[in-house]
Each structure stands twice: as C-alpha cells, then as structure tokens.
Amino acid sequence: MSQSRQHSRSFRIVRLLTLVGLLTLGLAVGGAAFAQASANRLVFAGNQEPSSLDPTLGSRNVNEREVTAQIFETLVYLAQDYTIYPGLATAWSANDEKTEWTFTIRSGVTFHNGDALTAQGVADQFDFARTNTELLGGSWSQLSEPLAGVSVDGNDVTVTFKAPRPDLLIELADPGFGVSDIAYITEVGQEGGYNPIGTGPFMFKEWVSGSHITLVRNPNWTWGSPMFGTSGPALLDELVFQFIPEAQTRLATLEAGETQFLDMLPFADIARIRDSEAFAVSGFQLPGMPQMNYLNTNMSPTNELAVRQAINYAVDKQGIVDTVYFGMTVPAYGPLSNNFPEYDPSLETMYPYDPEKAEQLLTDAGWVDTNNDGVREKDGVTLKVVLVENKSWNDWVYLMQAYLQDVGFDASVLTTQGPSNTAAVASGQYAAPAMGDVFATATLMTRDWSSEGYGTFPSGHFWQGPELDEMLAAAGVETDDAARTAKYHEIQHFIMDNAMMVPIFELYFYAAHDKNLTGFVVDGTGYYKYFAGASFAD
Amino acid sequence: MIGYLGRRLLLTVPVLLGIAIVVFFVIALIPGDAVSAMMTQVKLAPDQMALLRRQLGLDDPLFVRLGNYLAGLLKGDLGVSFFGYHPVLRLIRENFPATLELTVAAMGVAVILGLPLGMIAALRHNTWLDLSGMTVALIGISIPGFWLGLMMIQFFSVQFGWLPITGHGLRPLIMPAIALGVAESAVLARLTRASLLEVLREDFVRTAKAKGLGMRPVVLRHAFRAALIPVLTMFGMQFGTLIGGAVVIENVFARQGLGTLVTKAVINRDAPVVQGVVLVAAVLYVLVNLTVDALYAFIDPRIRYE
C-alpha cells in the first residue's frame, strides 16, 4: 500500500473516531428539558412505574392507583375526616345484616370513549370481578369470593354478599375499585391496561415506558364528586406522572422546577423544604397497621412471653422517632393506627421504655450472661434474635438492634427487599420481621393477623391458638358500632398482652409541592391525591 | 473476512444459550417470586396467590419452566411480563433506543476526553502534563458514576439551573453521558498513553523520524494507528461495563432505558423481562466485539482473517 494511501487511511480513522464522539452528542438534537412547567401543567414526581392502568385488570400497587385515581372514578369517596362522599353512586343503602348493598348510579356519565355509564355497566363490573379469574391481584379480586350475586333495577344496582360486609363503602372508595368500561375490557383484554378508558376528570394521552404517563383534561367531565370541590371540568390542562426511582433525584427535580409535586419526601429533607419559600409541605398519617416488628411466637427465644415483653420494654420508640425520623412522626402502641375509631388508647401505657424492666424480665426467665460477653444465655442457648428489614422501608431496625443489644440480646439485621422480604417473613424462620400496612378500615387488619397467612401471607407472628382468628372473624362481621369497637379493643389487647408485636411509629407520608398549587384533595387513606380541582394560583 | 465473521456469529448461539440458562436459574433460585413481589403492595389471600402462581406458570417444575422458556426463544418469543402482561419484546423495543443513545453518548464522551488526554500524556511523557493527565484519569476511574451523577444534578441543575435532570433531547443527555463516560475516558486515557508510548519506541517510528518527518505526521500517520489496536480491544470489552453502568445512571437520572426496566424487573422477580434484557445485552456485547474484530483488519493491513 502506498504511503499516501496509508496517510489518508490514518487520518480517516482519527477523523472517524472523533466524528463518532461528536456525533453521539448530537444524536438527540433539540427537545427542551422534559418537564418545564406551564401555567396549567402539573408534573408529579412518582417513584415507581405502574404495570397496568386499568383497575379491573390488576391494579397491583399504590403507584398504579395514584394514576388510575385520576382516570377512573369510584362509586364513593372517603375523605380525610372519614366522611363518605358520593361518586358514581349518588345514594346507597344496606340491609341490617350488611349483606345486601344497593347503589343508585349517577345519570349522564360517559366514559372517555363516549360509552354511557349505566347501572347495568356497574353490575357487569361486579359480575366481572366475581367470575373472571384473570383479575387476580387487583382490588376487585378481593370481592371475587365474597360476592353472591348482582341485580339491576332501573338506576339501582344491588350487590349481595355471602357474609356481612359492614365496611364495603370504605373498601369501594379505594382507587383500586375504579369502575371500568367492561365492554371495552372484554373487547381488548389486557391491552386495556395500556390504553385505559375511564370516566374521570383526566383522560389517558400517552405512556412512555420507563419515563412518564401523560393525562389530559376530560372536557366532558361535569359530574365531579363533592369531595373534589368542583363538579368539573378539571382546571389543569395536563397531568404528567413521571417515574423517578431515586429519592434524591426526585427531590432535585422538585427543587429544579422540573416537577411540581413530590410524594414521600425523605424525612431528612422535610425541615429544609418546609422552610423554603417556593414549596409547601403537607404531612398525612396513613391509617392501618403502624410500622412495627412482628415477634414470632413459634420459635425460640421469642416463643417465651417474657422475652417478647422484654423486647417491648427495651425499645425506645420516641428515641427512634427523634433519631431516625427527625421527630416527624409519633410513636405507635398497638396493631391499629391511632386514627381509627376502634383504636384503644389504653395501650399507650402498656410498654413504656424501661430497659431495667426488660433486663429483669429476662433474668427472671433464666436468661443470664454467664460468660460476661454481653449476651445472655439459657441452657446453652444464646439469646439471639434476627430483625428482618425491607430495605429503605424499615430504617429503624438498626437502632432497635442497638437497644436490644444493650439489654443482652444477640441482635442482628437481615436486609431483604421486596419479594425476598415477603419470602423471609412468610418463612417463619426469623424472630422479629419488620412490617407495616395501610388500610382504611379495621376489618382489614385480618390480613396481617389471621393464621390463614402463615407461610404464604406476610403475617409474621405465627400464633398457634384459634382465639385470634375467632376474634377477628367475629369483629369483621359486627354491624353494631359500639360492639364492633369493643371487639377490636379486645383484639388489640390480646395482641399486646401476648406481646406478639413491637409497635414502633405511626406511618406519616410527607408531600411537597409548588406553593402555588392549590385545590388538590387527599383521601381518607392519606395517600391518594385527587387533582380534579387542582390549579396553579397566579 | 466474511467467513470468519460468519463463524464467530455461529459460535454466539451456544454462548447465548448458556447465558439464557444461567440467568433463568439465577432468577428462579433467589428467594421470592413475582407473586411475592405483588404481596409487597397488595395483600393477596393464599388461594389467590396459588391461583396466580398457577397462571404465571410459577408452580411448574423448574425444568418444565426452562423447557417452555427455551421453546419460546426458538420461536423468537421472549414471553410476557408478569406485571401487566406486556410482551417482553415490546418493552425492550420501547426502552432499547434510550439505552443505546446513552451508551453511545457515553462512548463519545470517553473518546473525546480519553484519547486526547492519553495522547498528550504519552507525547509529554514524564512532564507535568503527563502527571496531571494521569492524576485526572485516576480520579476519573475512582469516582463512582452514581455519585458523580448526583453531584452534577445538585450543582448544574438545582443550584444553577444550567442543565435539566430529566427529559429527552440533547441537554438532558449531557449529565448522564458524562457520569457514565468519565470512568471509561479515564481507562481509555491510560491505555492510550501506555500503548502509544510503546509504539513510539518501535523501530519504524525511529526510522520515520530519521527520514525527517515532523512529530505530527509521525504520531498521526504512523504511531497512532498502531497504538489503536489494544485501545480498540479494550473499547469493545468496556462496552459491557458501559451497559452495566447505564443501569445505574438511568436510575439516577430517571431515564427511560433497559437499565430502568431491568432494575424494576429484578426487584419484582419479573423473570421474562430480566431474561429478555440480559439476552439483548449479551447479543449487543457480542456484536460490538465482532465489530471491533472487523475494525482490526481495517486499521492494520497485516491482520487478515481466513
């Protein structure tokens, strides 16, 4: 090969490589930053991408329901003060046994595709839940087995259950019970989850996988629930849900102005953002089972009541609240949040922080530190407990570990995440798995305490007697308010008398948003936000 | 050459098959499954969980599931996601371009920063330029990409508002490309320096200088091309590192892409998605290295494939 040809070849290589480098930067030309705020466009910084956007097809997580709450409507709505507001149902009634519920369906409602919402359509929704096994995982599937039948009379839909369902209205207020266009779902199947059709204030526009979901105002929406503060149409032109898994990045987008609403503000940043002139911070207590640790009653050493009680006395809940959560929540004292009407306040004095008492209980039970290594033993067995953590959800366990070590436990932490956490808790092999739950009615505490969940369901206490199941079953069908409260008091005391758990703190979520954003509504769970009436003040 | 590349392509088939089997077993054997993942959000009754596992095929024997998976692969079917039942191919098709964009941009950053830095360090060997250049490279290798990304977000976006954090287009690509490409540029700089220094000591370079050629044509016309071979080799191998790094950077910058997709799938034990993404990444890696091999012959006429 001639010299000149070699020369030109060398330069071609260098130029090629440099060009590749420069051209790559010019690959995606144009396009502004993703989410520049416009006067009527709200970008919500979410943390996880949904899997499906139709509640009938399997709304399996709260992130999905946050979005579907804007697209679909429920029969009723639950406000923060636990008032039930009409939604797609304008009126309702139930028989004394609470086995038969009748809903009067609102007239003049249409789906985003123009189909009319009728009483028959709502009946078809209940029937679909009862008969279609592909719905598993969604909220509607919870009614599959309990439903006995559905009938229609004019604008009224009557739903019959096999057993009393006293909390049905609170259940149906969950966005997971949004009403779908069943005819559309039957036609398109799972694809409906990618192109949802609802009756809500916002219509689906686009879903860019891994990036965002865009909703636009439904101009025909004029039947808004009184809970929204507007009958419609919505004031926002566009509502965008962006998926930002990294918490600090999520917060940075709010501070940089790329998003205007942030859910789950990190506790460490609450004070700083609250002091900012640009943002408003709101705290919401989520009802349900507070953040806690189960105590496994079916394995050593937590099968001993004295050990379980000692653990309760050894943990400084206020210390955890102040240290780990910067004082932004409050201690918990039992298996139900303190904002339930069935909450028993007498639990608050049962297990004060008292490490001396914890040590005495352990010593009286025969657990002593015979070799002065700081860990107690009994009959050659070390006082060992493993705390199971669901990564980034149960940060308190490390401080709890220290409290337990102070009184002579060999305490360690097993870090798991998501499904491995569920598997670890369900395995029954660990003494103190951390847990929490969010639900709006005390009836649903059954799913965390029933023996039905042992081994498959994340219930980590493994109590072997039938008493708890019997009490839960009786309370779940009690229709008299006073009797119901008494029954749930009894359940809470049973759990705490037997020290089947260590309550730690009440779950609070803090949301931060542009100070000019007004009019959004938070429901009774403290988690779901409705933007039908939201707008930016001038 | 064609024959050589054809043979290499054929050899990738057993490689990809092996990768598919290994990934299958890794996902199948770690604690928890997709239904367990669903339980973290929605409490299902035991009979519902059992029925769901049956529908998703999770209660089939392991080798039955493997057989079904491999049979689907032969038909080009990567299955459907356990969450939402979206076809895996569609998910990959939707997310792949963004990852490719980020990876290529990061490679561009690596080339633009690394090559000149390495060349200057070699040509100014044992001077302050060499020392400072390699110090910068050392810092570049040492800084974790996710930390660099978070720092850039705080500085360039939150503090000064110069660059957007999220979005599509050129400006949102700058920070993630730098966060991903800086470490690669450091590796590239060091290797370029070492390779060029070695070539500059060769007889043919001394001969070129003796003939009266200036330094610029000596380096650019003769030495650099010879020094490129090991640099290209490293480049191809580092592509896999870039793909892996893209997983982290996409999550930090909330970018659409295979990284975000596979992260969520791993956490949710969404096996079809994990398997699909890993296979695609493996195919990409093989193709990139094949391209590198082909470039060898282009750069060095002495290299001929039979």
Q: What's A368-385 look like in SS3?
A: ECCCCCCCCEECCEECEE
Q: Helices B62-74 and B271-299: crossing angle, nearest 10°? A: 50
pLDDT band with cut points at 50, 70 and 90 for residue A1? very low
Instruction: Return the structure tokens found at B2.
Output: 């064609």
Question: Contact A63/A49 with Cβ under 8 angstroms?
Answer: yes
Residues 452 through 481 of chain A touching chain B, CB cutoff 8 Å: 452-453, 456-458
How far is CA A323 from its chain centroid? Answer: 24
By CA distance, what is A445's nearest residue in B? B43
Give the span between the Cα atoms of A409 and A402, in whole angstroms: 9
CB contact under 8 A, B177 and A25: yes
Looking at residue B16, its pLDDT comes to 84
Say whether residue A408 is in contact with chain B using an 8 A CB cutoff: no
Total count of residues recorded for chain B: 306
Q: Which residues contact A497 (CB under 8 A, 6 or more apart)?
A: none
Say whether residue A10 is in contact with chain B using an 8 A CB cutoff: yes
Say whether residue A211 is in contact with chain B using an 8 A CB cutoff: yes
Residue A19 Cα, gap to closest chain B Cα (Å): 9
pLDDT tens, position by position, A57-113? 865 677 789 999 999 999 999 999 889 999 999 999 999 999 999 999 999 999 999
Question: Contact A263/A256 with Cβ under 8 angstroms?
Answer: no
The pLDDT of residue B37 is above 80: no
pLDDT tens, position by position, B196-211? 888 888 887 778 777 8
Mean pLDDT of A448-463: 82
Instruction: Return the structure tokens found at B162.
Output: 């110069």
Give the span between the Cα atoms of A434 and A411, in whole angstroms: 14
pLDDT tens, position by position, A389-431? 988 889 999 999 999 999 999 999 999 887 788 888 888 999 9
Beta A432-438 vs A238-243: how paired, if at all?
A: unpaired
Give the span between the Cα atoms of A450 and A463, in whole angstroms: 9
Give the span between the Cα atoms of B304 and B306, in whole angstroms: 6
Looking at residue A3, its pLDDT comes to 46
Largest CA distance in chain A: 101
CB contact under 8 A, B225 and A448: no
Question: From residue A488, how far is each of A263, A340, A535 by CA, in Å?
Answer: 32, 10, 41
Mean pLDDT of B15-19: 86
Give the span between the Cα atoms of A303 and B50, in whole angstroms: 29
Contacts of A27 in chain B (CB under 8 A): 101, 104-105, 170, 173
Q: Helices B88-123 and B271-299: crossing angle, nearest 10°? A: 40
CB contact under 8 A, B105 and A141: no
Q: What is the 3-state secondary structure (H, E, C) of chain B?
A: CHHHHHHHHHHHHHHHHHHHHHHHHHHHHCCCCHHHHHHCCCCCCHHHHHHHHHHCCCCCCHHHHHHHHHHHHHCCCCCECCCCCCEHHHHHHHHHHHHHHHHHHHHHHHHHHHHHHHHHHHHCCCCHHHHHHHHHHHHHHHCCHHHHHHHHHHHHHHHCCCCCCCECCCHHHHHHHHHHHHHHHHHHHHHHHHHHHHHHCCHHHHHHHHCCCCHHHHHHHHHHHHHHHHHHHHHHHHHHHHHHHHHHHHHHCCCCCHHHHHHHHHHCCCHHHHHHHHHHHHHHHHHHHHHHHHHHHHHCCCCCCC
Evaluated on CA atoms A184, A187, A191, A195, the torsion sign reads negative
Phi, then psi, of A7 in degrees rounded to 5: -60, -50
Question: From residue B270, how far is each of A223, B171, B274 by CA, in Å?
Answer: 40, 33, 6
Residue A390 Cα, gap to closest chain B Cα (Å): 10
Mean pLDDT of B271-293: 85
Contacts of A245 in chain B (CB under 8 A): 251, 254, 260, 263-264
CB contact under 8 A, A419 and B32: yes
The pLDDT of residue B194 is above 60: yes
Alpha helices in A113-205 (DSSP H): 119-131, 168-172, 182-188
Of B36, B41, B225, the CB nearest to A61: B41
Say whether residue A253 is in contact with chain B using an 8 A CB cutoff: yes
pLDDT band with cut points at 50, 70 and 90 for residue B239? confident
Q: Which of B33, B42, B300, B303 to mutate to test the interface with A (most CBs of A within 10 A)?
A: B42
The pLDDT of residue A156 is above 50: yes
CB burial of A88-113 (b: ≥16 within 10 Å; e: otherwise) equals bbbebebeeebbbbbbbbbeebbbbe
Mean pLDDT of B73-86: 84
Residues 415 through 444 of chain A touching chain B, CB cutoff 8 Å: 416-424, 426, 437
Give the span between the Cα atoms of A229 and A329, in whole angstroms: 29
Give the span between the Cα atoms of A460 and A449, in whole angstroms: 8
Contacts of A391 in chain B (CB under 8 A): none
Q: Of A24-33, A174-183, A209-218, where does mean pLDDT reach its minimum? A: A24-33
Give the span between the Cα atoms of A502 and A292, in whole angstroms: 6
Question: Contact B44/A59 with Cβ under 8 angstroms?
Answer: no
- Coil, helix or strand for A464? coil
Contacts of A257 in chain B (CB under 8 A): 161
Residue B51 Cα, gap to closest chain A Cα (Å): 8
Of A49, A256, A416, the CB nearest to B165: A256
pLDDT band with cut points at 50, 70 and 90 for residue B229? confident
pLDDT band with cut points at 50, 70 and 90 for residue A26? very low
Q: Helices A3-25 and B88-123: crossing angle, nearest 10°? A: 130
Looking at residue A514, its pLDDT comes to 96
The pLDDT of residue A218 is above 70: yes
CB contact under 8 A, A253 and B267: no
Phi, then psi, of B69 in degrees rounded to 5: -65, -45
Question: Contact A33/B171 with Cβ under 8 angstroms?
Answer: yes
Question: Contact A315/A404 with Cβ under 8 angstroms?
Answer: yes
Residue A372 Cα, gap to closest chain B Cα (Å): 37
Whether the link from the prior residue into A266 is cis, omega within 30° of 0, is no
Look at phi and psi of residue B165 and say left if phi exceeds 0, alpha if psi is from -120 to 50, else beta.
Answer: alpha
Give the span between the Cα atoms of A332 and A348, in whole angstroms: 8
Give the span between the Cα atoms of B27 and A392, in whole angstroms: 22
Give the span between the Cα atoms of B184 and B102, in whole angstroms: 13
Q: Which residues contact A259 (CB under 8 A, 6 or more apart)?
A: A35, A43, A44, A45, A242, A244, A250, A253
Residue B62: Cβ-neighbour burial (10 angstroms; 0-12, 13-18, 19+) = exposed
Say whether residue A341 is in contact with chain B using an 8 A CB cutoff: no
Q: Count the Cβ atoms, other than its own, within 10 Å of residue A195.
A: 15
Stronger pLDDT, B285 or A266, i.e. the higher one: A266
Looking at residue A141, its pLDDT comes to 80
Q: Which of B26, B27, B43, B113 to mutate to test the interface with A (most CBs of A within 10 A)?
A: B43
How far is CA A196 from its chain centroid? Answer: 22
Q: Helices B145-152 and B171-200: crossing angle, nearest 10°? A: 130
Residues 18 through 47 of chain A touching chain B, CB cutoff 8 Å: 18, 20-35
Question: Contact A265/A510 with Cβ under 8 angstroms?
Answer: yes
The pLDDT of residue A200 is above 70: yes
Q: Which of B165, B199, B266 to mutate to test the interface with A (most CBs of A within 10 A)?
A: B165
How far is CA A12 from its chain centroid? Answer: 58
* Nearest by Cα to B76 from B223, B276, B277: B276
Give the span between the Cα atoms of A124 and B215, in whole angstroms: 83
Contacts of A142 in chain B (CB under 8 A): 45
DSSP, res A431: S
Q: Count the Cβ atoms, other than its own, within 10 Å of residue B9.
A: 12
Q: Helices B271-299 and B224-252: crossing angle, nearest 10°? A: 160
The pLDDT of residue A518 is above 80: yes
Instruction: Return the structure tokens found at A399.
Output: 């401080």
CB contact under 8 A, B260 and A421: no
Give the span between the Cα atoms of A157 and A145, in whole angstroms: 19
Mean pLDDT of B136-163: 94
ipTM score of complex: 0.82
- Coil, helix or strand for A348? helix
Instruction: Return the structure tokens found at A68.
Output: 């579907």
Residue A359 Cα, gap to closest chain B Cα (Å): 35
Q: Which of A211, A438, A457 to mutate to test the interface with B (most CBs of B within 10 A)?
A: A211
Q: Count the Cβ atoms, other than its own, within 10 Å of residue A451.
A: 17
